[in-house]
Structure 1
Amino acid sequence: MLYGKEHVKRYQETGGAEGHDWNNTTVLLLTTKGRSSGQPYTTPLIYQRYGDDYVIVASYGGAPDDPQWYKNLMAEPEVEVQVKDDKFKARARTARPEEKPDMWRVMAATWPQYDEYQQKTDREIPVVVLERTQ
C-alpha cells in the first residue's frame, strides 16, 4: 500500500493512475508552503468533491495537535492541488461552522475513522475547503 513520500512520488509519476484510488477511497495531493522554511511540502490526503470545491480533513489520526500541512495553509492559504492528472492552484480555508456538519458527514461516509479520530482528541478537527483559483 502506498504511503507518505512513496505515495506522492507514484501519484506524480503516473498522473494519479497510482495513488488516487487508495484503501477504498480517493486521494489528492496538497502542496503547501512551509510557514518557516518557505519550502513546498506535498501531502497525500483523502478528499471528496463538495459542489465545485474539494474537501479534506486535518485529522492527523486524532493527534492532540493539528497536522503541519494545516498549520502551513493557515499561514499561507494559496496552495497547489493535484487530483489525478489535474493540477491547479487553490485557496484553502477552514469550513465555516454552518458548513462543517454536512461536510463532516460527507467525509466520514468516505473514511469512517474520522469519527473515531474526533473522539480521541480534545481539539476540534478542522475540515478544509479547497477552492480552485485558476
Structure 2
Amino acid sequence: MLFGDEHVRRYVETDGAEGHDWQGSTVLILTTTGRKSGAQRNNPLIYQPYGDALLLVASNGGSATPPAWYLNLTANPEVQVQVKGDRFTARARTANADEKPDMWRTMVATWPAYDDYQRKTDREIPVVVLERV
C-alpha cells in the first residue's frame, strides 16, 4: 500500500497511474508552502470534485490538532495541485457554515471514516475548497 513520501514519489513519476486510485477513493497531491520553513510540502490527500472545485478534509485522523498542511494553507492559500497528470495552481479556503454540510456529505460518501474522525475530537474538522487559479 502506498503511503507518505513513497505515495507522492510514485504518483508524480507516473502522473497518478500509481496512487490516484487508493483504497476505494481518489487521491491528489497537494503542495503547500511551510508557514515556518518556507519549504514546499507535498501531501497525498483524498479528494472529490465539487462543481468546478475540489474538496479535501483536514481530519488528521480525528486528532485534536489540524494537520500541518492545513495550517500551511491557512497561512498561504496559494497551493499547487496535481490530479493525475494535471498540475495547476489553486487557491485554498475553508468551507463556510452554509456550504459545509453538503460538502461534508460528499466527502463522507468517498471516505466514511471522516464521520468517525469527527466523533473522536471536539475540534470541528474543516472541509477545504480548492479553486483553480
**Residue-by-residue CA offset, 1:54-109 (whole Å, 9 max, x unaligned):** 00000000000000000000000000000000000000000011000000000001
- Superposition misfits of 4+ residues, deviation over 4 angstroms: none
Give 1:106's aligned residue: 106
Deviation at 1:114, TM superposition (A): 0.1
Structure 2 runs not aligned, ≥5 long? none
In the comparison of the two structures, how many residue pairs are matched? 133
Give 1:127's aligned residue: 127
- For 1:83, give the aligned amino acid: V
Structure 1 runs not aligned, ≥5 long? none
Q: Separation in 1 of the partners of 2:61 and 2:48? A: 18
Secondary structure of the 2:2 match is coil
Secondary structure of the 2:129 match is strand
With structure 2 as the length reference, what TM-score do the two structures score?
A: 1.00
With structure 1 as the length reference, what TM-score do the two structures score?
A: 0.99
Deviation at 1:38, TM superposition (A): 0.3
Q: Separation in 2 of the partners of 1:73 and 1:79? A: 7
| Residue 62 (structure 1) aligned with residue 62 (structure 2) | yes
Q: Separation in 2 of the partners of 1:45 and 1:103? A: 16
Give 1:93's aligned residue: 93
**RMSD, aligned α-carbons:** 0.3
Deviation at 1:40, TM superposition (A): 0.2
**Residue-by-residue CA offset, 1:3-49 (whole Å, 9 max, x unaligned):** 00000000000000000000010000000000000000000000000
Percentage of identical aligned residues: 68
Secondary structure of the 1:87 match is strand
